[in-house]
Chains A and B, each alone.
Chain A
């Protein structure tokens, strides 16, 4: 079973609108971290936002927010006021701590295209 599931292979959004990218995770650990990364067509991996499992408030970073629903094991990324430059692949990731090592696991990604 996948530890990180991103069910939307591709998403389209109109410029200036908001978009939600889905992510569900599977872990039996109480302590874990959730991340979103952006990969533009140039290929680099850019960190966007982080949510710790004990954080009670949803993380926000500028136009990015993470809708963290612990009971549902979901960590959706919300991008407000989409811009053309937001067109990219987006990866959800989870960090666990099995046996004393920090291991990040990534989902398969969602391709976001922003239309003008």
Chain B
């Protein structure tokens, strides 16, 4: 999706390894979000950032850390990956989706497998 770039698209980790999922938006948005998607569970909020330098926990923050060092980038870090963190991860930013209407633009997702 235009405007929100996630990397990598795919990743396989061994249990205990660490990694950082990168997300960048070029639309000058304040609010950014990290979700995980699991079958039958929909999208669950991990962390969000209302503005540069601020972050808050969402519904399922355990095992994750985030960093919002500037307005453009919002990264998600797994310090010690566990098989339960196998999921598809989406980054999103709050964006204008119509005239005066604000919704959410998503990145293309990262499919993470922890073995």
Q: Using CB atoms and an 8 Å cutoff, list the residues of chain A in contact with chain B.
A: 4, 6, 9, 33, 35, 43-45, 47, 50, 52, 91, 93, 95, 100-109
Contacts and interface: CB of A to CB of B under 8 A. Distances in A.
A50 B98 contact: yes
Interface of B: 1, 31, 33, 35, 40-45, 48, 50, 56, 58, 88, 90, 92, 94, 97-98, 101-106, 108-109
A106 B35 CA distance: 10
A9 to B, nearest CB: 7
A9 B104 CA distance: 23
Contact of B104 (A35, A101, A107): A35
Contacts of A93: 104
A103 B108 CA distance: 20
A6 B35 CA distance: 18
B8 to A, nearest CB: 14
Given A102-B31, A106-B43, A108-B40, A47 B97 contact: yes
Given A50-B97, A91-B42, A109-B42, A44 B56 contact: no
A33 B96 CA distance: 13
A43 B45 contact: no
Contacts of A4: 42
Most buried by A among B101, B102, B103: B103
